A and B are shown apart, each in its own frame.
Chain A
Amino acid sequence: MEDLPDDLLLGVLRRLPPISLAASRVVCSAWRAAVDANRLLRADLLPLSVAGIAVNPLSLGSRFLCRPNAASTIADDLDDICNTSRGIFNRFDFRVSDHCNGLFLVDDDVQHVVNPVTRLWAPLPGYPPPHPCYPHKLFPPTICLVYDPGPAPQTQGPLPRCRRAKGNFRIDMCLLLFQARITEKRHMCPVRRTNPDHTLPFATNARPPPLPTFSSLVSSPRSDRRRRPPKLSIPPLRRGHQPPPRIQFQHLLLLLRRRPGDPRCAVVSPSLSRPSRLDVRCGGACFAPEDRWVGGGMGIGASDELLGTFVPIAVYWLYSGLYLALDGVERLDVYRLHPREEEAAKNVVSRGTVVRGVLVQQAFQVAVSLTLFAVIGDESGIEQKQPSALVILLQFAIAMFVMDTWQYFMHRYMHINKFLYKHIHSKHHTLVVPYSFGALYNHPLEGLILDTIGGALSFLVSGMTPRTSIFFFSFATIKTVDDHCGLWLPGNILHALFNNNSAYHDIHHQLYGNKYNFSQPFFVMWDKILGTYMPYSIEHRKGGGFESRPVKLNIAEQTKTDYMQHSGVGTIGEGQRSIQHFEALLKRRQEWISLSNGTYRVIQSEPSMSLRYSFDHLMVWFLSESHGQMKWVLKHRSRIASLLPRRTTYEEQSGESWILHGANYQGDFHADADDVSWMFNLEWQMDSYDDDDDHHENKRHAKYVTFLGFHPFDEEVVFPGETFRRGFAYNLNNSEIQDLGNLCPKFYDRTYHQALIQTSFVYTPCWLD
């Protein structure tokens, strides 16, 4: 063997994984020279390269944008693994839901962690026991794959300290999934170790080796220490000026994120202060203490039933009193929905009459409620235990629904039935210009039918305790008063939360809106469902103040809104973390934070007039650390939309570009990979289609720029995409743009050409054999 010809030796060495190459390199000088001269320690198989981008198009399985030859290591293998492992993966549905250093979290009925290079996969061990208030069925935990790049467990406690961080990114559970040390022969392939005769299948149709169980992937540091084989050395990669890879310890943390706001959540925070030689840094996570909501007593010597009757009345007068006080402030006139004079002109009854009417109404109501409590009340004297917060929330929701439903139909019937309207409900409509304490100015019978029976029904159906009902009825009262307040105050949270608000209800009190907007007090769903919905628009009235006007609903507007609500899903991926919480949603802004190479970057998109997913300006912030201070520094800003090339130039480049592969294309996807003619056809069709359109309106073709991810190892490079047409690599420094390839999946025809990429992950293969 000593006198093996060089090309033969090379042929052998080429087939070795990095770990064995490293060993071979110190065997003898000839081998060492062979490895060095040919750069066999392939950098592209260490987690330092980008092999492709996994994109998740809306309502399709994952696609891989990668070089044609790289497909065999990603899509092909994933496809193989998913098909041969078991029948669970529905080929069409299988999606990559997260990625971290060469490992994919594959989502299906069961979640798996897959390494396409080593062809190993392991199912997740299941979730930790849920918090009693947040069962998994209702609040399925979000699972992310991230690294804990902290020092090896031998030198430090198992989990780094946790620090509270601002923001909505919360994590409530982490598991040490596996740790990898490149310099050690490792536990990635337990099967091969126990069965030395087993060779890697090199024939393409050979089955992958039997797969390890999750527990064999999860390594316990202690037991690992005993079994650690002799240390091998791995040489640094000398690739131009680049520093050698220092990916030494990689603890993979599995983070389960529950919905934002879960009191039990812990927080992942950047631990930037920790000195680290590692290329990958993010932070640690740990458990937050289990703080539960503890229901406290009211501390007042009255039964909940009594309180449930009287507190809402007190709330009514207090809240409307507050509005009455505001009414006196002339400065607030600019927020009035009707001018001050209009009240006297349009309302037929005086304020005194209204107060008397309300008091009578309430007295009647008290009598009924007390009777009700006396009938159904628990006589044992034992207080009903408050259920968990979740149950209470559910009861609230049910109660709101029941009350809404009851009131909508009764209210609407009172409008339709001429007799009822004339003798009962018209009393309430004497207030054309509603004011706060006129909210309950009703005929006593209407109060009984609408409010009392409605309240009793929601109380009984939801099964809430009397104590909960205090809060519920008070809330309903506040809502009702608020709907009649006649003011459009900025910052009123009820206006923001509910579509059914003072402006909405004001429409109903006007003559033109009399047959619309029956819904009260919470939601507008029944109006929408039954076609009595008349949306309002707040407009500035001449002479100051606002005016609530009905608008004709623009369907496009509605879809956009729905779409925005739909797409506000935050994802966390390796190398990119897109935080799209509620606030960002409102501001139409997206942010990504890169967890790779120790820098934190945020991309913000300025609001653009087009789709929410799109942006015109690319802004990249870096988190710079100096003198112990962390500061966001704007590193790059450009009008990316105008920089991306016109589509007409794509055709020339598509020969070299990456190709979109689907691990789960229906039928033979090899045909897709080899035959790119459909791509050309598609491009051509698109071009001709666009050219026609360009004549009509140039502006419409403002590109929908989306963001695919950061380059994990080169901080100058980001991957923008023109939504569902092309993916690009963009150099922040010199604004150089490289066309990567077509992003449009085969099944998306051009009617979908505004279709979406929901999430994307920059794939960095990792071959640790």
Chain B
Amino acid sequence: MATGSGAAAAAADAEEKESGSRMITLTSNEGKAFVVTEASARQSATIRSMVDDGGCVDKGFPLPNVDSKTLARVIQYCDEHGNKEAHTVDERAALAKFDKDFIAELDADKAFLYDVTMAANYLHIQGLFALTTQCIADTIKGKTPEEIRTAFGIEYDLTAQDEEEIKEEDTHA
């Protein structure tokens, strides 16, 4: 268990009342195993569908596209959102605060942010994907194309034909 073992254990206690409460093992591409509650793992639509299909729950899920560092961070998000209730205003506010801190931390390291985003995309974790893409989108917002290129380290590769088109559109618009 990488993170939040106490919280996960407490959640596991609660989950035991339900018949379907299990622990699930996720394996990163480096072979490191992470044990999470099922509620936490169900945040991922990919895993959820596999669990529901009654597949290899016991064997664990190998995730060849995700490295350990990223997976740990993703599980941190899943634990928070999977194991906590969000019924009252306070609970929602707490989650929102978690999201805010979570993304602020990620935003500092852009490369890691993209890794997490890709993992979220691969695992189909909707909330996390929305969170990270919004964060990236916010950096694009309000920038000129040149600024965007600098921010993302993109090389200008538009052809002359493209430029012609853009010019024409420009006069149009």
Contacts and interface: CB of A to CB of B under 8 A. Distances in A.
B121 A5 contact: yes
Interface in B137-163: 137-138, 140-145, 148-149, 152-159, 162
B172 to A, nearest CB: 5
A182 interface: yes
Contacts of A1: 110, 114, 152-154
B133 A27 contact: no
Given A20-B140, A234-B173, A248-B173, A2 B159 contact: no
Contact of B133 (A5, A11, A32, A769): A11
A208 interface: no
Interface string A224-246: 00000111111110000000101
A206 B96 contact: yes
A200 B157 contact: no
B158 A23 contact: no
B130 interface: yes
Interface in A69-126: none
B162 A236 contact: no
Given A2-B154, A26-B158, A27-B145, A244 B173 contact: yes
B102 to A, nearest CB: 12
A24 B140 contact: yes
A8 to B, nearest CB: 5
A530 B15 CA distance: 77
A20 B143 CA distance: 7
B3 interface: no
Interface string A1-29: 11011011001111111001001101111
Contact of A232 (B92, B144, B156): B144
B121 to A, nearest CB: 5
B23 interface: no
Contacts of B134: 15, 199-200, 202
Contacts of B157: 28-29
A28 B144 contact: no
A205 interface: yes
Nearest to A22: B173
A495 interface: no
A1 B152 CA distance: 6
Given A8-B117, A199-B138, A205 B96 contact: yes
B166 interface: yes
B56 interface: no
Interface string B77-107: 0000000000001001101100100000000
A24 B130 contact: no
Contacts of A231: 170
A182 B170 CA distance: 12
Nearest to B89: A205
Interface string B112-141: 001001100100000001110111111011
A233 B166 CA distance: 7
Contacts of A259: none
A620 to B, nearest CB: 31
Contacts, number: 116
A185 interface: yes
Q: Is the interface of B mostly helix, strand, loop or mixed?
A: helix
A529 interface: no
Contacts of B154: 1-2, 27-28, 31
Given A28-B158, A183-B173, A205-B92, A23 B143 contact: yes
Contacts of A235: 166, 169, 173
Nearest to B173: A234
Contact of B142 (A183, A185, A244): A185
B74 to A, nearest CB: 15
Contacts of B93: 205
Contacts of A32: 158, 162
A321 B140 CA distance: 86
A203 interface: yes
A182 B155 CA distance: 27
B121 A233 contact: no
A11 B129 contact: yes
A193 B155 CA distance: 27
Contact of B141 (A2, A17, A31, A248): A17
A2 B137 contact: no
A26 B142 CA distance: 14
B157 to A, nearest CB: 5
A192 B135 CA distance: 15
Among A26, A31, A32, A236, max chain B CB count under 10 A is at A26
B65 to A, nearest CB: 10
A193 B143 CA distance: 11
Given A12-B137, A15-B133, A203-B99, A236 B155 contact: no
Interface in A207-233: 229-233
A205 B133 CA distance: 19
A20 B139 CA distance: 10
B148 A23 contact: yes
Interface in B31-56: none
A203 B130 CA distance: 10
A7 to B, nearest CB: 6
17 contacts: A1-B110, A16-B141, A20-B141, A23-B143, A26-B166, A27-B145, A27-B148, A29-B157, A31-B154, A192-B142, A196-B142, A203-B95, A236-B169, A244-B172, A244-B173, A246-B173, A248-B173
Given A11-B129, A16-B137, A20-B142, 15 more contacts: A2-B153, A2-B154, A11-B133, A12-B136, A16-B141, A28-B157, A28-B158, A32-B158, A199-B138, A200-B138, A205-B89, A232-B144, A234-B173, A244-B173, A246-B173
